[in-house]
């Protein structure tokens, strides 16, 4: 027993090490640790001249390989065990190679046979695990993203994180302000917290240190393999090595969080767009078709009835069905209409033109959009607010004219939707349009105001906090459509 115990301890250590390696590389295609265990076990067992050597353990590596990894790995493990045993016997000229080979061969054969049988039996389980592996990894990732996105202290809102980074950078350096830029896939820069001088600050990134504006510094947001963005700090009286180290520490703390938030913004936008398109398809293929079918029934009733009152009621019902179908088509158009290339003005023009042609409203456009595009989220929310406001005019205002004004310089925005209708716009019970517009405005840090128009009607205004009166811009002119 005293001779066997050290061997068993060595074999147990080899098995434990192989198990740990198995766990750490379970998602990889290579299984070198199984081969390494077989070679080590064979050397230990064959190299021991004691008659108490546990030769039967030679069957274990092929069996385990068959269960875990399949046919090819089982054959490789058995072949290398046999070659290792032969080489070990060859290096011991004083030993009886034939006797040792006769003792080892049956166990290697048993291990091979059982391993092949196990590989065949466990093939379906391995195939299922291989098919589910990508989904399991995706599930784990989505669970982590959901946890972060719903966290009260560490969310995944890029605008909030950019503001938090700006505050932290200002406290760390004493700077007046900072702007956070992220590098887009096409290598362009996009500001997450733009200000009035965003274009000038973007140029600071390209300048060497000696040519930058006094008191300005560019702090890279570094990822594991590349620069994810930059934080441009201005208004620091004197940059020192200590300030630079402190600023880089703050940037490193936020870099991966901010990059993840930007990626999550893209995922959320894609998911939202897909869901809107799905709802639009369901509306078109479901309720819209059912209502159209009801219209055919009403037409049939009107055509076969001899009662004037019945025909009159059927005609009124047919008009109401036509109105409902038109509203559904508008809703589908709203759901599918998106911002193209980040430019809100072109999307607003297309939408207003479609509403004018369909409803008979005279639409007057004044669009001035210059500078860098608004962030995708802000642009989308501005479009949705405009859609809701225009929809309210079309459905409830009984107006003849609609004025749509939009101005943006890439850092601030102003949207006005005016009509000459009945006025008295306000929230109504079980109608959530105004509340939804306010929520959208708050989501992008803008302010929504609704009030009477001076010459009658209603004005809906959306303004960012940084909105100022501007002159010039890229005017798209006016558009009039007479119904």
Question: Strand 362-369's sheet: what is its strand order?
Answer: 362-369, 401-408, 413-419, 458-463, 447-452
d(CA 394, CA 98): 98
158-259 CATH, one of 1.20.140.10, 3.30.450.40, 3.20.20.450, 3.40.50.1370: 3.30.450.40
17: Cβ contacts below 8 Å, ≥ 6 apart: 37
d(CA 125, CA 121): 8
Q: Select from 312, 458, 295, 323 the least CA-distant residue to 388.
A: 458
Residue 364: predicted pLDDT? 93
63: Cβ contacts below 8 Å, ≥ 6 apart: 111, 114, 115, 118
Tokens 């940059």, residue? Answer: 239
Asked if 280 and 268 count as a contact pair (C-beta separation under 8 A), the reply is no
Q: What is the pLDDT along the chain (483 residues), one digit of tens a residue?
A: 455 656 666 667 766 766 666 655 555 545 666 777 777 777 777 766 555 567 777 777 888 777 777 777 778 788 878 888 777 777 765 656 677 677 778 888 888 888 788 777 777 766 666 677 777 767 776 777 666 656 654 456 777 788 888 889 988 888 888 888 888 877 888 888 777 677 788 888 888 888 888 888 899 998 767 888 899 998 888 888 888 899 999 998 888 888 877 777 777 777 777 887 888 888 777 877 888 888 888 888 888 888 888 888 888 888 888 878 877 877 787 777 788 777 888 889 988 888 888 888 899 999 998 877 787 788 888 998 998 999 888 888 888 999 999 998 877 889 999 999 887 665 555 456 788 888 888 877 788 999 898 888 899 999 986 543 333 333 333 343 433
392: Cβ contacts below 8 Å, ≥ 6 apart: 425, 433, 460
Domain boundaries, the chain: 4-125, 158-259, 341-483
Residue 186, strand partner residues: none
Triad 133, 137, 142: Cα angle to 5°: 145
Q: Select from 374, 391, 359 the least CA-distant residue to 464.
A: 374
Angle between helices 308-336 and 287-304 (to 10 degrees): 160
Same fold, 158-259 and 341-483: no
Phi, psi of 62 (to 5 degrees): -60, -40
Residue 6: predicted pLDDT? 63
CATH class of 341-483: alpha beta
Residue 470: predicted pLDDT? 35
Asked if 34 and 18 count as a contact pair (C-beta separation under 8 A), the reply is yes
User: In this structure, how many other beta carbons lie within 10 angstroms of the beta carbon of residue 476?
Assistant: 16
Residue 376: predicted pLDDT? 79
pTM value > 0.85: no
Pairing of strands 227-234, 217-222: antiparallel
Q: Select from 445, 375, 440, 359 the least CA-distant residue to 410.
A: 375
How many angstroms from the chain centroid is the CA of residue 275?
14
Q: Select from 254, 218, 265, 221 the least CA-distant residue to 375.
A: 265
Residue 419: predicted pLDDT? 92
Q: What is the 3-state secondary structure (H, E, C) of the chain?
A: CCCHHHHHHHHHHHHHHHHHHHHHCCCCCCCHHHHHHHHHHHHHHHCCCCCCCCHHHHHHHHHHHHHHCCHHHHHHHHHHHHHHHHHHHHCCCCCCHHHHHHHHHHHHHHHHHHHHHHHHHCHHHHHHHHHHHHHHHHHHHHHHHHHHHCCCCCCCCHHHHHHHHHHHHHHHHCCCEEEEEEECCCCCEEECCCCCCHHHHHHHHHCCHHHCCCCCEEEEEECCCCEEEEEEEECCCCCCHHHHHHHHHHHHHHHHHHHHHHHHHHHHHHHHHHHHHHHHHHHHHCHHHHHHHHHHHHHHHHHHCCCHHHHHHHHHHHHHHHHHHHHHHHHHHHHHCCCECCEHHHHHHHHHHHHHHHHCCEEEEEEEECCCCCCHHHHHHHHHHHHHHHHHHHHHHCCCEEEEEEEECCCCEEEEEEECCCCCCCCCCCCCHHHHHHHHHHHCCCEEEEEECCCCCEEEEEECCCCCCCCCCCECCCCCCCC
The sign of the CA dihedral 122, 125, 131, 132 is negative
Both tokens of 174, joined, read 């004493």
d(CA 25, CA 278): 40
């Amino acid at each position: 027993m005293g001779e066997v115990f050290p061997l068993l301890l060595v074999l147990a250590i080899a098995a434990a090490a192989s198990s740990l390696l198995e766990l750490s590389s379970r998602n990889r295609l290579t299984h070198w640790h199984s081969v390494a265990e077989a070679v080590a076990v064979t050397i230990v067992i064959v190299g021991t001249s004691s008659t108490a050597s546990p030769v039967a353990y030679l069957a274990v590596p092929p069996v385990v390989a068959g269960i875990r990894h399949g046919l090819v790995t089982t054959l490789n493990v058995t072949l290398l065990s046999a070659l290792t045993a032969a080489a070990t016997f060859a290096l011991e000229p004083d030993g009886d190679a034939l006797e040792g080979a006769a003792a080892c061969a049956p166990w290697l054969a048993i291990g091979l046979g059982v391993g092949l049988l196990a590989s065949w039996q466990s093939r379906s389980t391995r195939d299922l695990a291989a098919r589910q592996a990508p989904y399991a990894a995706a599930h784990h990732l989505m669970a982590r993203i959901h946890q972060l996105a719903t966290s009260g202290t560490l969310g995944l809102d890029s605008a909030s994180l950019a503001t938090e980074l700006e505050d932290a950078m200002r406290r760390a350096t004493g700077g007046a302000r900072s702007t956070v830029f992220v590098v887009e896939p096409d290598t362009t820069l996009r500001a997450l917290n733009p200000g009035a001088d965003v274009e000038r600050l973007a140029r600071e990134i390209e300048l060497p240190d000696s040519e930058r504006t006094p008191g300005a510094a560019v702090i890279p947001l570094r990822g594991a393999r590349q620069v994810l963005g930059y934080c441009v700090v201005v208004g620091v009286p004197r940059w020192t090595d200590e300030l630079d180290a402190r600023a880089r520490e703050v940037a490193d703390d936020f870099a991966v969080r901010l990059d993840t938030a930007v990626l999550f913004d893209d995922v959320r936008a894609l998911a939202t767009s897909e869901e809107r398109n799905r709802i639009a398809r369901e509306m078109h293929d479901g309720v819209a078709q059912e209502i159209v079918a009801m219209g055919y029934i009403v037409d049939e009733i009107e055509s076969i009835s001899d009662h004037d009152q019945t025909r009159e009621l059927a005609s009124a019902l047919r008009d109401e069905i036509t109105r409902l179908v038109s509203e559904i088509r508008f809703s589908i158009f709203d759901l599918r209409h998106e911002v193209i290339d980040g430019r809100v003005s072109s999307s607003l023009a297309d939408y207003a033109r479609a509403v004018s042609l369909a409803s008979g409203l005279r639409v007057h456009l004044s669009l001035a959009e210059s500078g860098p595009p608004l962030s995708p989220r802000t642009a989308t929310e501005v479009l949705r607010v405009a859609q809701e406001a225009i929809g309210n005019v079309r459905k409830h205002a009984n107006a003849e004219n609609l004025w749509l004004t939009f101005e943006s310089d890439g850092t601030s925005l102003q949207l006005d939707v005016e009509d000459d209708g009945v006025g008295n716009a306000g929230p109504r019970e079980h109608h959530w349009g105004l509340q939804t517009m306010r929520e959208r405005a708050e989501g992008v840090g803008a302010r929504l105001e609704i009030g009477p128009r001076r010459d009658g009607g209603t004005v809906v205004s959306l303004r960012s906090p940084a909105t100022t009166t501007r002159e010039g811009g890229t005017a798209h002119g006016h558009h009039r459509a007479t119904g």
